[in-house]
Amino acid sequence: MGTVLKVDIDYKAPETWLFKWEKTRMLILEKYYQLHVLRVTRHNTTKGQNYFIEIKEELTAGEINELQFMLGDDHTRVKINAWRIERGIPHWNKIFDRKLWRKKAKTVECWYCGNIIPLIGVENDKHESQQGE
């Protein structure tokens, strides 16, 4: 059945760099690890690229996560995946190319310049009025 490696790159590199990146990843997998690459698929995202690299061999979860790290996967994603593997979560290797949901931030309009400013950490709309009481 094979394995799909997932690599998240949060940088919009020039196309010439991406071509070289793809070729060097194939060399790493085929020459260093002696694996058989079947297909490389790239999805461009708002922050960079997501790569799906299909290989012939079946690998363990730990081997997949290690390889993804060696191929340049987002390090925070690798750490989270390691925690998921340790806890036995079956679908640990998640990758997304868009946000599914984002909480809308409260905003105010600047009285001076008219810019819309997000209010980070504001929990109560009545905060200012309560301070004066």
Instruction: Give 46's pLDDT tier (boundaries 50, 70, 90).
Output: confident
Dist CA 78 CA 2 (whole Å) = 20
Q: Quick check: is 111 in a domain? A: no
Please measure the distance between the N-terminal and C-terminal CA atoms of the chain and give it in whole angstroms: 68
**Residue 133 covered by a domain:** no
User: What CATH number is given to the structural domain containing 18?
Assistant: 3.30.70
Say if residue 122's pLDDT is above 70: no
Best-predicted range by mean pLDDT among 28-37, 41-50, 103-112?
Answer: 28-37
Q: Give the model's pLDDT for residue 115.
A: 73
Asked if residue 121 is part of any domain, the answer here is no
pLDDT of residue 130: 47
Q: CB–CB of 37/55 below 8 Å? A: yes
Considering the chain, what is the average pLDDT of its residues? 85
In a domain, 97, yes or no: no
When divided into structural domains, the chain yields a total of: 1
Q: Give the domain extent around 74.
A: 3-86
